[in-house]
């Protein structure tokens, strides 16, 4: 998964401090408020130890490109891909099977209701 849409980025557009928590929220699909609250609780529970990794990620991680997603639906799709690539592939295969089934039904309808078209298709085979 070398796609830029599956990488972790700091989200400076929704940032409060360095964009790390908003980047985690964007990456996982969790609301940024919950990530921030979890981080604050983690800082208090670890006696401030989490501040060091936070600063390291804030300095080392790349900023999120401005136009990474075209719309909200695409953003949610890529979040699902990051969470479970195999499940997402199954969902896409299922959607293609459904489209194929509907096209077959459509073809059957038009062929059976039009004997001239049916004869032409049989002649071509």
Give yes or no: residues 27 and 63 share one domain: yes
pLDDT digits (tens, 9 = 90+) for 7-63: 777 877 777 888 888 888 888 878 889 999 999 999 999 888 888 988 898 888 888
Minimal CA–CA distance to 35: which of 56, 47, 48, 50?
Answer: 50
Domain end marker among 49, 64, 83: 83
Confidence of residue 77 (pLDDT cuts 50, 70, 90): confident
Domain that holds residue 91: 84-125
Q: Can you give the pLDDT at residue 8?
A: 78
Give yes or no: residues 11 and 65 share one domain: yes
Contacts of 94 (CB under 8 A, 6+ apart): none
Give yes or no: residues 62 and 1 share one domain: yes
Q: Can you give the pLDDT at residue 61?
A: 83
Q: State how far the Cα of 94 lies from the Cα of 102, in Å rounded to an integer.
A: 12
Confidence of residue 2 (pLDDT cuts 50, 70, 90): low
Give yes or no: residues 47 and 1 share one domain: yes
Give yes or no: residues 7 and 51 share one domain: yes
Average pLDDT over residues 95-121: 83
Q: Which token pair is 109?
A: 């309808």
Give yes or no: residues 25 and 8 share one domain: yes
Query: Has this prediction a pTM greater than 0.85?
Result: no
Minimal CA–CA distance to 40: which of 10, 17, 62, 8?
Answer: 17
Count the domains in the chain.
Answer: 2
């Amino acid at each position: 998964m070398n796609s830029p849409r599956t990488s972790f980025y700091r989200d400076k557009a929704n940032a409060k401090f360095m964009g790390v928590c908003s980047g985690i929220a964007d990456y996982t699909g969790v609301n940024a408020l919950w990530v921030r609250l979890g981080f604050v609780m983690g800082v208090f529970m670890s006696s401030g130890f989490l501040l060091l990794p936070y600063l390291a990620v804030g300095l080392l991680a790349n900023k999120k490109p401005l136009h990474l997603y075209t719309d909200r639906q695409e953003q949610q799709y890529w979040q699902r891909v990051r969470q479970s690539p195999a499940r997402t592939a199954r969902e896409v295969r299922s959607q293609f099977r459904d489209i194929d089934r509907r096209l077959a039904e459509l073809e059957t309808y038009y062929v059976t209701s039009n004997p001239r078209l049916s004869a032409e298709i049989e002649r071509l085979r």
